[in-house]
Amino acid sequence: MKKSDFFYDLPEELIAQTPIEPRDASRLMLIDRSNKNCDEDVFRNIIDYLNEGDLLVLNDTRVLPARIYGTRTDTGAVVEFVLLKQLETNKWECIAGPGKKAKEGHSFKFSDKLSATVINVLDDGNRVLDFNYDKDFFAALDEIGQMPLPHYIKEELKDKERYQTVYSKELGSAAAPTAGLHFTKELMEKIKNKGVDIAYVTLHVGLGTFRPVKVDEITDHHMHSEHYSISKETAEKINFTKKNGGRVICVGTTSCRTLESAATKYGEIKECEDDTSIFIYPGYEFKCMDALITNFHLPESTLIMLVSAFAGYDFTMEFYNKAVKDKYRFFSFGDSMFIR
């Protein structure tokens, strides 16, 4: 299939710039794969479409305030860095811009508590920084760091927590698993009280999730790698749900990619930790996921390709175009869909 097969025309005004309040007030498109039908509701009513014995699988990663601005100690030049991956205790792989002002050996000051030196320039242009800090790196980062919002969000985010899920726990992502932004703690309690179980996986989302597919043939696309882990408790819940006829419902494409990566590698879901670069597109046979809660994704992205693999290509493009026509809000802070 061609990249252009996954294009749809999206007016810029439909790209959500701010999160809706309250979290669970977003619109919910209900997508039935069996009869190719679409209905509409509000996200807080997702509970009406979940059954006792189902299992929600959530990604509990927490976003780093990974965008920081450093002043070069010799020239005073200001450079933006985005932390991508922790390599060692003090060493991080980062994106730098403008890169020509952040060469090997250059030192930067970010605050009274945080400084760093560029110790390597990688082949792809990313930098490796060796940080110096006072006692707690993450505390220093939290004081000065900004959320690494995707490029299509132009408005400033006033509350950092609105780019975190209410169940975020494991610090390490460069972007939010945005399907989970619709949940409130109250809604999650109601879901549990209905007899729907909840399990957590961790996949640290990289900025590669926003990188466009640049090749015409989608099979030539090289996926970025991300780190994931599945606990013994989560594996047992998934296997119990499957054995007893419940649905495993992934909240977000990151949860989906975690489960499908494990199922593909091991032939089952079990306690594990690994890196994954799984690329799911039409023709893929799902091994674990039975239903998916997700947002509306960018045209020609790997994420709309994943949705097309699950819901069927023609039907996916049909309900995406319907969402545009009905003026749904798109992308990270946008509305939601439940594909079942």
Q: Hey, which bits of the chain come out as E strands?
A: 27-32, 37-42, 55-59, 61-63, 67-72, 78-86, 91-97, 107-111, 114-121, 127-133, 170-173, 197-203, 226-230, 248-251, 272-276, 291-295, 336-339
Over residues 29-40, mean pLDDT: 97
Q: Which DSSP string do the residues of 60-108 spell out, in sequence order?
A: -EEE---EEEEEETTT--EEEEEEEEE-SSSEEEEEEESGGGS-TT-EE
pLDDT at 277 over 90: yes
Beta strand 91-97 pairing with 127-133: antiparallel
> What tens digit of pLDDT does each residue of 55-64 get?
999 999 999 9
Which amino acid, 224?
H
Average pLDDT of every residue of the chain = 96
CA pair distance 238, 194, nearest whole angstrom: 18
Over residues 22-26, mean pLDDT: 98
> What tens digit of pLDDT does each residue of 77-119 get?
999 999 988 899 999 999 999 999 999 999 999 999 999 999 9
pLDDT for 174: 87
pLDDT for 224: 85
CA pair distance 272, 201, nearest whole angstrom: 10
The alpha carbons of the chain give a radius of gyration, in whole angstroms, of: 20
CA pair distance 107, 71, nearest whole angstrom: 8
pLDDT for 200: 98
Given pLDDT bands bounded at 50, 70 and 90, which one contains residue 259? Answer: very high
Q: Which residues neighbour 171 within 8 Å (Cβ) at sequence distance 6 or greater?
A: 61, 62, 64, 138
CA pair distance 91, 116, nearest whole angstrom: 9
Q: Which residue has the tokens 């009869």?
A: 35
pLDDT at 210 over 70: no
Q: Which residues neighbour 254 within 8 Å (Cβ) at sequence distance 6 or greater?
A: 59, 61, 177, 203, 205, 226
Given pLDDT bands bounded at 50, 70 and 90, which one contains residue 26? Answer: very high
